Amino acid sequence: MNIHEAIRTRRSIGKVKSDPVPQDKIEKILEAGTWAPCHRNTQPWQFFVMREDGRKLLGHVMADIAEENAAGKTEEELASAREAALGRANRAPVVIGVAVKPVDDPKIIELEEYGAVFAAAQNMLLEAHGLGLGAVWRTGDFCYDRKVNEAFGLGERDKMLGFLYIGEPDMLPKDGKRENAASKTIWINEAVRQLDV
């Protein structure tokens, strides 16, 4: 599969089999992430690979956050919210947390550090696709909760930017839909002072 095909055929695969993912494939996915572009070569990413019982770390922190957000609910509703959260960590045999650890340097623009890690996640998704695996990048408010930082030993300025759920696909990918690039592109061939977009 060439890069042109990989970019256009990769889809979020939210349903995967429980079969273990071989170690060498996981390592290739991680390695792909490290080749993302990053300003001044800061390499601000940190990956957390969770398999088997290791996924319980994610499950417990998700459950703690769900319970905190369910304040005022009955004991039964709290238990249900906690159980559902614990189950979400087991939706794939491999879950990779992708975090940004911005370099503490006034010359480095923090937003560019985030951009580098988003690019790393895309590299990882493309590599997984190229290896015949299904993957989905899951995010949400809980990722940025202080409890996630605490659970994964991240510093105050660090952020978990999402979790990649990876496994053998157990669903057919949906057709991709994108607006034509022309509708999102402005060509500038002459010097101008200001654009009216």
Could you list the residues known to form a binding site, using ranges. Answer: 10-12, 39, 137-139
> Residue positions in the annotated binding site for FMN?
10-12, 39, 137-139
Contacts of 97 (CB under 8 A, 6+ apart): 47, 48, 50, 58, 152, 160, 162, 163
Tokens of 81: 């919210």
Going by the DSSP 8-state scheme, the letter that residue 194 receives in this structure is -
d(CA 179, CA 156): 38
- In one-letter notation, the amino acid at residue 137 is W
Q: Dihedrals φ, ψ of 46, to 5°?
A: -140, 130
Cβ atoms of residues 25 and 131 within 8 Å: yes
